Structure 1
Amino acid sequence: MNQTFRTQARHGYSVQFSPYFPHRLACTASQYYGIAGCGSLFVLDAFSDGIRPVRVFDWNESLFDLVWAENNENIIVTCSGDGSIQVWDVAQPQGPLKVLKEHTKEVNGIDWSQTRNEHLVISASWDKLLKVWDVSKDQALQTFQGHDHIVYTCCWSPHIPGLFASASGDHTLRLWDTRKPEGYVRLIPAHEAEILSCDWCKYDQNILFSGGVDGLIRGWDVRNPKLPTCELRGHTYAVRRLCASPFQGSIIASASYDFSIKIWDVIKQVCVDTIEHHTEFVYGLDFNVHVPNQMADCGWDELLHVYNTSPYT
C-alpha cells in the first residue's frame, strides 16, 4: 500500500498509528508552518483504496505532537503552541474533553507510558521543563527541571516503569525516574548541537538513540554512555524525528529537514533505504505496530504518506 493524504493547508508535525486498530492513525498539523495560526488533529483510516478522514478537530493554536492513549482506543492527547495539552475523544465530534495548562511556553513533545497502570503522560516544553500528568486529573503530578534550553522530545522507556528520556537544545540527553525523589538520573552530552529527537530500542532496555541538528544519529548504552554504540551519517540537515522499529531491534528510521526518510541498520551502521517523497521538511514518522514494514510520515509540504517498505533483515 502507498497512499497519500493532504492535510488541507496545514503543515504536518506528527503522525502516529493507533495501538488498537491496524488501519487507523492520527496526525497533528498547523497553519503557517506552526509559527502562527491554528492547528488541526486529523484522525484517519488508511485502506488499500485510500486514506479517509474519520474526524478532524481544530485548535486555536498550532498543534505539535500527539499520542494515543494506552487505556482507551478513542482517546488522543495533543500539545500546542499556547503551552497547553488537549485530551480528545475520537468518538465525540465536539472540542477537547479536557485542556491542561501549566507550561508557560510551547509544548513540543508528548508521550504516554506503556509500562505502568497509572496511565501517565509526559510533556516537554520550550520552558525547559518536563511534566508528568495523569490526564484524569487537573494538575501535573510532577515537574522535572534541569535542561538549560528548549526540551524538544520526551519518551518513556518501553521496558522500565517510571523511566523516561528527554532531548534538548542544550546538546544533552537526560534520563529521569519518577520513582526517585530528585527525579534526575543521568546526563549524556550526546551531540555538539541541539538534539531534536530520541527514541528507545524496543528490544534492549539499555539502548537509547538520539538525532540532532548536526545531521547525526547516535546510539547510547545508558549504563555507560561515554562513547556511542553507533554513529549513523547520511542526512545532510537536521534529524527531526527518530523511530525505532517495533519488529527488529537493529532497525531505526529517521525523518529529516533534508526532505528524506532513512532506514538504518544500527548493527552494520549503514543506511539500508532512503525514501524521498516529500518536498519540504519531514517532521512526523511512525511504524505501524500491527503491520510489519508499514510506515507513515508527514511533512511541511502538507502531505501525509502511508506506505510499505522492504523487509530489512
Structure 2
Amino acid sequence: QSHSTNEELAKNHSPIRRLFPARHGYAVEISPFIPTRLACATSQYYGIAGCGTLLVLEQTETGIALVKSFDWNDGLFDVTWSESNEHILLTGGGDGSLQVWDTANPQPGPLQVLKEHTQEVYSVDWSQTREENLVVSGSWDRTAKVWDLSRGGQSLCTLQGHEGVIYSTLWSPHIPGCFASASGDGTLRVWDVKTGRCRLAIPAHKAEILSCDWCKYDQNVIVTGAVDCSLCVWDLRNVRQPLSRLRGHSYAIRRVKFSPFNQTVLASCSYDFTVRLWDYSRTEQPLLETLEHHSEFVCGLDFNLQIPNQVCLTIV
C-alpha cells in the first residue's frame, strides 16, 4: 500500500524555519475544507517556558508556505479546525485557556479566549456530527470541559473522573454528545455529555495513555497509544481484552490516528523518531510501513481527509 507524507515538502520548508526557528510543533491538523491547508500548534522551549505560535500553512508544489501566524503568551499544545467555518480554529494553551482564531480577521489577536482550566490544556477537538457544534477540551487539571462557542465564554459542563492528567479528548464521529478521553491514569473513558457521566472506563494500559482515536467506520472501535510503546484497538462492546495489540515502537507513542479511507488502517508516531502504519486486521504482520525520516520526536500526526494516504507530521 502506498503512503505519502509531507517529507518532500518539508525539504523546502527553510523559510518557515527561518521565520520561527525556536518553535517546536506539538500538533497538526489538516483543514476539512481545503486539503492543502494545515494548522500547526507550536511552543517555545518544548512548552516549558516562553510563548506559542499557531501557524497556518499551505502545501504548494515547491514546499510549504506560511499563510498566517498567531502568537499567544504561553505554549500551544493542540489545534482543531471548525467543522462549520473554514476560517476558524481553536487551540489549547499552557496557561489553561482555549483560544479561538479567525484566519480572515486582520487583527492579530484571538476572537475569543475561554479560561476555566487551572492547568495546561493538552487537547481540543471540534465535534463532527451534524446535530451539534461543540468543542471538548482536556487538561492536566484532570478535567474535560464541553463548550458551545455560540453561547459565550462559559463551559456547558465539566466532567471529572480521571485520576491523572488528561492527554487526549476526542468526539465520536458517529454518536452525538459522546467523546473519549485518554489519561495518565492508564484508563480510556467514554463520556455522555447529556448525562454528564462516564459511560465506560477501560483500564487500557498499565502506563500513561497519551493518545486515542475513533475508527471512522465503526462507532464501537477505538485505538489507544501509550508510554508502554504499544497500541491497543478496543471494541467497546467487549473490553475484557483488546481486539489487537500492536508492538514495534521503542519509545512512548505520542499520537494515534485511524485512516479516513480504510477501516482497519491506522498510524502512530512516537518519541522513537518514527511513524508507523498498521493494519490491525492482519494478525500475522500488522505493521505495513515504518517511516524513519526524522531525527527528533514526532508529536503531531494527521491524515488528509481528501487526499488518500497523505499523512502530515510535526516535529518537536
User: TM over 0.5, yes or no?
Assistant: yes
- Segments ≥4 residues shifted beyond 3 Å: none
| Deviation, structure 1 residue 293 | 1.0
Which runs of structure 2 are paired with 1:252-271 in the superposition (5 Å)?
252-269=266-283, 270-271=286-287
- The residue aligned with 2:3 is none
Deviation of 1:278 after TM superposition, in Å, equals 1.6
Amino acid in the other structure paired with 1:27 = C
Q: Does 1:220 align with 2:226?
A: no
Q: What is the TM-score of this pair, normalised by structure 1?
A: 0.94
Corresponding residue number in structure 2 for 1:202: 216
Q: Decide which of 134, 147, 150 is 2:162's aligned counterpart.
A: 147
Pairwise mapping of residues 84-163 of structure 1 onto structure 2 (< 5 A)? Answer: 84-93=97-106, 94-136=108-150, 137-163=152-178
Q: Does structure 2 retain, via aligned residues, the 8 Å contact 1:116–1:162?
A: no
Alpha-carbon separation, structure 2, partners of 1:41 and 1:251: 29
Give the total of aligned pairs: 299
State the TM-score, normalized to the length of structure 2: 0.93
**Equivalent residue for 2:288?**
272
Q: Which structure 2 residue ranges, 5 or more long, are not aligned?
A: 1-5
Listed one character per residue, the Cα deviations across residues 125-152 of structure 1 (whole Å, up to 9, x for unaligned) are 0000000001222100011000001000
Greater CA deviation, 114-123 or 248-257?
114-123
Residues 1:178 and 2:178 aligned together:
no
Once the two structures are superposed, residues 191-236 of structure 1 have per-residue CA deviations (whole angstroms, 9 ceiling, x without a partner) of 0000000000111110000000000000001111110000000000
Name 1:81's counterpart in structure 2.
94
3-state DSSP class of the match of 2:162? coil
3-state SS of paired residue (1:219): strand
Distance 1:254 1:58 in 2: 29
Residue of structure 1 aligned with 2:304, choices 269, 288, 305: 288
Work out the CA distance in 2 between the residues paired with 1:8 and 1:42. Answer: 13
Task: State the distance in 1 between where 2:239 and 2:255 align.
Answer: 21
Partner of 1:3: 9
Given the alignment of the two structures, is residue 211 of structure 1 paired with residue 217 of structure 2, yes or no? Answer: no
Residue 79 of structure 1, CA deviation: 0.4
The superposition leaves residues 66-112 of structure 1 with CA deviations (integer Å, 9 ceiling, x where unpaired) of 00000100000000000000000011242100000000000000101
CA separation in 2, counterparts of 1:233 and 1:138?
42
Write the letter of the residue equivalent to 2:56.
Answer: V
The amino acid that maps onto 2:65 is R
Instruction: Give 1:280's aligned amino acid.
Output: E
For the pair 1:34 / 2:50, whether they are aligned, the reply is no
